[in-house]
């Protein structure tokens, strides 16, 4: 090779290295507007879930029209596949975002999570198929939590997480009602177009306005940094469960209580719409009221209970409310019963915050991430198993409809068909009764959890993995949970 050729090759190599440094420094995309802040994350979360909240009522109708037979079974399978894929992919995406930056993965997760929206009117079959597959990237929360952890100090991180969680709740409190109103007045097509436009706005906001939160922490050497299986293993958090009897009791309690909760979230609004005869507006109002009551329960009521009766008794009280709520859902045959049970459901949302607080108070500082990671892994697994289980129980008990609800009655609810009344006169909701039995077992297990103890788990090098569904390498305050608690409320 000639001397000129060698110089030219070295110049090309220097250009490539410079490009890599620029890409790594900026997270792979140009810097956004201003410095990274919690408000960037808040806007991303609000727009994504506001877009999906608008589609609450149209999705229920399209689901039944697409699967007129075995509606609940298909809904459970769709949501179950999505949940399992999210459980499997969350740690890998979190680990990759530690290497390649948050902005690119925010863009990736929001894009694929919102990709099914325009397909609702184009092809319902493709719509539900893409929803299932999108679970691989439906982990926006994990990336957002990592983004927030990058830009906040330990003492202000809890408040920042609370702001993100409250924004998530606010988007779901308002958007279903707006979507139901627009659908009734202008038709569902307009709602789908509006939701698609908001999703595109979210994507454009990430591209243009969101700055990378990890520019100074990344080095050119990390361009091809390997990702170990330990970081990407979704079951890593579950492998430590049996090493301490107290942790085992806590994890069993979380599994038995969150399994029916995850299944309930996937099918309850469809249940209200198709079986209980709620109108679209009534479902939207139910979501709003339940969300507001849950926020109150997890802030004011929870703090009062924690001070007055302690951690363990708060957990037992929350499980008791959950049993009552599920039993009421299972036997309830009138709309007013659903509203009353919804108020009880809001009180049952204190269970997981109380569990997380118990772990934070009893575990050593260097064990916090390990234990919280186990609990997060258990709940991630339930997000996949719960919806499929509920759908299967609806199927084996033949809880189906052959037609959509009849026109609305003057009282505001839809007229329940005679077919429904005959079929569901004794037990309208069998899965909810199964859930009540599961939570009863969780209550019995929780009775053996001591109020004060020291957890001792052999974590060694595994500590770096910490929460497999959060942001494994992001800094975390010793006493904090690995993800905001409001994500798992009844909203």
Q: Give the domains, in start order, of the chain with CATH numbers.
A: 32-214 (1.20.1250.20), 238-401+429-451 (1.20.1250.20)
d(CA 45, CA 141): 8
pLDDT greater than 80 at residue 62: yes
pLDDT score of 396: 84
Q: Which residue has the higher pLDDT, 199 or 104?
A: 199
Kindly report, residue by residue over 361-418, the tens digit of the pLDDT: 766 655 655 666 677 678 778 888 888 888 888 888 776 654 444 444 433 444 444 3
pLDDT score of 481: 40
pLDDT band at residue 456 under the 50/70/90 scheme? low
pTM of the model: 0.70
Q: What's the longest Cα–Cα distance across the chain?
A: 90
Q: Phi then psi for 448, rounded to 5 degrees?
A: -90, 0
pLDDT score of 216: 52
Q: Look at residues 4, 35, 2, 61 and name the one whose alpha carbon lies nearest to residue 404.
A: 61
pLDDT score of 461: 41
205-219, 273-287, 408-422: least confident range: 408-422
pLDDT score of 154: 65
Q: How far apart are the first and last CA of the chain?
A: 67
> Which residues lie across from 414 on neighbouring strands?
408
pLDDT score of 18: 44
Q: Which residue has the higher pLDDT, 5 or 460?
A: 5
pLDDT score of 373: 61
Kindly report, residue by residue over 202-211, the tens digit of the pLDDT: 999 999 888 8
CB 275 within 8 A of CB 424: yes
How far is residue 488 from each of residues 45, 66, 379, 435, measured CA to CA in Å? Answer: 15, 29, 9, 16
pLDDT band at residue 60 under the 50/70/90 scheme? confident
């Amino acid at each position: 090779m000639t001397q000129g050729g060698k110089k030219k090759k070295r110049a090309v190599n220097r250009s490539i290295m410079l490009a890599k440094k620029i890409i790594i420094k900026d997270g792979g995309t140009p810097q956004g507007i201003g410095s990274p802040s919690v408000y960037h994350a808040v806007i991303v979360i609000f727009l994504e879930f506001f877009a999906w909240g608008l589609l609450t009522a149209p999705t229920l109708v399209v689901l039944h029209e697409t699967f007129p037979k075995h509606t609940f079974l298909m809904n459970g399978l769709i949501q179950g596949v999505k949940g399992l894929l999210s459980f499997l992919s969350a740690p890998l995406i979190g680990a990759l975002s530690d290497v390649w930056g948050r902005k690119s993965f925010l863009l990736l997760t929001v894009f694929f999570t919102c990709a099914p929206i325009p397909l609702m009117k184009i092809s319902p079959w493709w719509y539900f198929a893409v929803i299932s597959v999108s679970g691989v990237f439906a982990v926006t929360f994990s990336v957002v939590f990592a983004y927030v952890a990058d830009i906040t100090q330990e003492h202000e991180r809890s408040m920042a997480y609370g702001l993100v969680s409250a924004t998530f709740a606010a988007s779901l409190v308002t958007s279903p009602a707006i979507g139901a109103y627009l659908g009734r007045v202008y038709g569902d097509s307009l709602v789908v177009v509006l939701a698609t436009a908001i999703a595109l706005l979210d994507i454009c906001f990430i591209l243009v306005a969101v700055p990378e939160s990890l520019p100074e922490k990344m080095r050119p050497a990390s361009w091809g940094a390997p990702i170990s299986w330990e970081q990407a293993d979704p079951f890593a958090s579950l492998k430590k469960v049996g090493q301490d009897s107290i942790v085992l009791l806590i994890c069993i309690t979380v599994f038995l209580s969150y399994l029916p909760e995850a299944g309930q979230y996937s099918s309850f609004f469809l249940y209200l719409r198709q079986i209980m005869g709620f109108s679209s507006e009534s479902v939207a109002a139910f979501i709003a009221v339940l969300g507001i009551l849950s926020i109150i329960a997890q802030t004011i009521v929870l703090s009062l209970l924690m001070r007055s009766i302690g951690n363990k008794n708060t957990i037992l009280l929350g499980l008791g409310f959950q049993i009552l709520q599920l039993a009421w859902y299972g036997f309830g045959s009138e709309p007013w019963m659903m509203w009353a049970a919804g108020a009880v459901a809001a009180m049952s949302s204190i269970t997981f915050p109380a569990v997380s607080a118990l772990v934070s108070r009893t575990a050593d500082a260097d064990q916090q991430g390990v234990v919280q990671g186990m609990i997060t892994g258990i709940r991630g697994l339930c997000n996949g198993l719960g919806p499929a289980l509920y759908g299967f129980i609806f199927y084996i008990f033949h809880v189906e409809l052959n037609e959509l609800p009849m026109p609305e009655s003057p009282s505001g609810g839809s007229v329940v068909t005679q077919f429904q009344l005959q079929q569901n006169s004794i037990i309208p909701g069998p899965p909810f009764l199964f859930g009540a039995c599961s939570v009863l077992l969780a209550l019995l297990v929780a009775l053996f959890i001591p109020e004060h103890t020291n957890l001792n788990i052999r974590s060694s090098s595994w500590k770096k993995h910490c929460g497999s569904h959060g942001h494994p390498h992001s800094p975390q305050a010793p006493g904090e949970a690995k993800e905001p608690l409001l994500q798992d409320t009844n909203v």
